[in-house]
Amino acid sequence: MTARLTPLALAMVIALAPSIAMAEDTSVSEPAESAAPTRETSTPAGPDEPSMEDIRIFTAVFREVQRSYVEPVGAEQLMKSAIRGLLIDLDPHSAYLRKADFQALTDDTSGSYGGLGLEVQVRAGQLTVIAPIDDTPAARAGIQPGDVITRIDGTAVESDNADTAIERMRGKPGTKVKLTILRAGQPPFDLELERQTIVVTEVRGRLLAPGFGYVRIAVFQEATAEQVARQVARLVQPDQPLEGLVLDLRSNPGGLLDSAVAVSDLFLESGAIVSTRGRVAMASAEFSATPGDVLKGAPLVVLIDSGSASASEIVAGALQDRKRALVLGQRSFGKGSVQSVLPLESGEAIKLTTALYYTPSGRSIQAQGIEPDVELQNAELRPIETSAASTTEADLPGHLGNGNRPANSSAPTTSGPGQDFVLQEALNILRALSRWKAPAAD
């Protein structure tokens, strides 16, 4: 494997940049082109170089804005706006990062910042929720993937002020902010949330039933693989090895590429995990598994949904392609591009898409997502009310024991899937897989 990659933003960013150490006026003006100097004959530029005519047009527009705009605009502000414009039309993930943005990026990857716990992206000109992070104000308020934030504290959110809008959601813990949410099939509604220090708990685990474990990954950070390994080891009981595991990646917006590789490696013995391909050498790499499966071959079910993005899709795609896990849920987000963050001498940076990543079978899931092996819609399990409780032999007074446990004893309690329909189905599948064995060949 290549050297450890640099941490970048949660979810939608996968790092691949070794360069980072971690009123109204009715007057009419002449057209902007009139400010350009007289044309001169020049040698045509090459296919990868701007022509002199393009440079003249840019200079003419620049000067005309300075001369005629309703308010004074400094040259530095105009140049930075031009840089943002250069990047913003490339794709949704390339961007110019001011010092505050660059610092926020670092805060995200450290796992601690003041805010609401939302991963958002501008899609079709709207500030759209990719996923809320577990146990944050956003998650507790019920914000869902796909929700559109239309106003923040009464100020409309538009595509050209999205960066400022995102900054307004961050702030000092204990302060409040009001979001106006647009959700499909519902009228707009307001939510008032209190900011808190967001310390992301990456990994949680528990037993769903004796022998069947559950591990939830909220985001991929530096120590995620180590935490997953510890959770799996903790779930192994002295007299009850794990017969199967559910790996929950739902609403996981992603994180670090090398963390996704390390988590995949926990469950694979050998072979490809993921590859990246770009135009420059540093953007192309291949990652393979090393010997050792923490489940020792026990069945694995991976849960995904439309909020599973980036690093989550690397893990799901690798385990699916290698036939190591059954993927259950809904089609994932489809963020299959790699971003490099390149620092500038000014303390600012540019975030630039430099590669696409590919699953072991060679699939690029960019704008396609991971198709689950078994597709399930979100639903809740509710008990059916009956007029009378059913009676079994075990309820009869003085019933005989069966030799396996004392009469009238109760089964040990476990923290099951509750009303989570998808998780219940995952447990059912794990139980079936753990008991089914291929018949021996004659």
Supply the residues annotated as catalytic.
Answer: 310, 321, 335
Q: Cβ distance 205 to 216 under 8 Å?
A: yes
Q: Distance (Å, rounded) from C-alpha 355 to C-alpha 375?
A: 29
User: Are 348 and 97 contacting, i.e. CB atoms less than 8 angstroms apart?
Assistant: yes
List all residues 6 or more positions away from 413 whose beta carbon is below 8 Å from its beta carbon.
none
For Cα atoms 101, 88, 79, give the angle at the middle one, nearest 5 degrees.
75
- Give me 244's structure tokens: 């199967």
With a CB cutoff of 8 Å and minimum separation 6, the contacts of 226 are none
Please give the Cα distance from 311 to 134 (Å, whole number). Answer: 17
